[in-house]
Amino acid sequence: MKTSVCEYRMFRVVMVLVFVLSVVSVAGASEGVMVRGDEESPAASHEVSGVTVDIDGSALSGVLITLSGGGVNQKTVSDAEGAFHMTSVPPGSYSMVFKMKGKKKVKREVNVSTGDLDLGNITID
């Protein structure tokens, strides 16, 4: 008797999992459809990157970078080469703030539209 109860419970668990996976699969298929041409799906996201440098062009590591706007608020820190990368940024207009102790705060307005955005060198005095 114990075996049939266990088998029944296992069958129910498997059926629930199959149902959940099929719902997720159908939902994912409808959201991930790309349109033809250069257009993107509404769920597209991009990378914003650049390099933080001193007035003399030397890389600045440890700069706190904040990207905000449109419900997005991401933070990162520049690496040893001054490079930074922010991923999963949806298209839109954003404010970016670059801060480092002993340096002037730098603010940039950026627009992420149809692709990844490389800001190049960001000079921090």
Closest to 124 (Cα-Cα) out of 85, 78, 80, 73: 78
Could you give the C-alpha distances from 8 to 18, 42, 96, 125, in angstroms and in order? 15, 43, 56, 69
The mean per-residue pLDDT over the stretch 34-44 comes to 47
- What is the pLDDT at residue 36? 37
pTM above 0.75, yes or no: no
Which residues contact residue 84 at a Cβ distance below 8 angstroms, ignoring those fewer than 6 apart? 49, 50, 51, 52, 63, 65, 76, 77, 78
- What is the pLDDT at residue 70? 85
Q: What is the pLDDT of residues 12-23, one digit of tens each?
A: 655 655 555 555
Q: What is the pLDDT of residues 66-82, one digit of tens each?
A: 999 988 999 999 999 99
Contact 102, 95 (CB under 8 A): no
Confidence of residue 92 (pLDDT cuts 50, 70, 90): very high
